[in-house]
Structure 1
Amino acid sequence: MTLNMPAFEWVHVLLLHLNSGISFPSPDLCNRATLSALRMADSDTNAYVADTVIKRINDREFLNQVINDGSQIDTVVTAINNAIKRLGDRVLNELSDFRNVNRIWLVGGGAELIEPYVRNGWKLPAGRIVLVSEPQTALVQEMALFKQEE
């Protein structure tokens, strides 16, 4: 398979590895932890709010607006960061089976979340670990293009 997105242009992919247990959209692991922490902070709990809180975890002003019990903000942030770390650890564990890999492209809704863990845990030069543009939709767009070529 040859991927056509800018990061993949003219690159023949020898192995495309997907594991639905660690796949993203702002991964279920992180969403569950966020929903639970928000409930403990007497705040709205739905998938949209959780996803937005994850994306804006470093925006203290936003968190003050969304989290009803302000004394729990640090608890919510810690819960999310712990979940992201667990996800990053799971991805690194999954990658450990593929030590001959010389490039990693991060795609999926949680790619931004785990990028630092992959970079720190996988000793490749920085340019060989790529967070693709629009990672949440990149893979599905390429799969649709691939199907059109068949």
Structure 2
Amino acid sequence: MEENIESAPRIAGEEFSRVALAPEAAGLLRKLWGQYGPLMFHQSGGCCDGSSPMCFPAGDFKTGDADVLLGTFALPDADGGVLGELDFWMSREQFEYWKHTKLTVDVVPGRGSGFSVEAPEGKRFLIRSEIIQFPTV
């Protein structure tokens, strides 16, 4: 059984991964990378598809002070090398609600948002979450 791919932490002072990719999500991302080139995720708040992670060609979604970079994935290629880096962003407002959770990007059958690049594949990305067990001091 393949393991999740952990992101490199990007929040100042943190040494743990806040976001991971399920193996099926990594496989779909490799395919999408071949079609669109470098990719990125953005997780906003909102309802409906706004609560799903959205995948865009890198740079197509403009991030700024209202967003938090949670982690960066070294997306593996089929040969065990690295295809490239993929950032996972979240709106700062949404992060306030989710800051105590570890996120795993997974993929399921179904049609997601028309703005996210996986939509034509008949699949959609989703987030699975679990509470982070912070060490006690």
| Structure 1 and Structure 2 fold alike (TM over 0.5) | no
Q: Which has the higher helix share?
A: 1
TM-score (norm. length: structure 1): 0.27
Pair member with larger Rg: 1
Higher strand fraction: Structure 1 or Structure 2?
A: 2
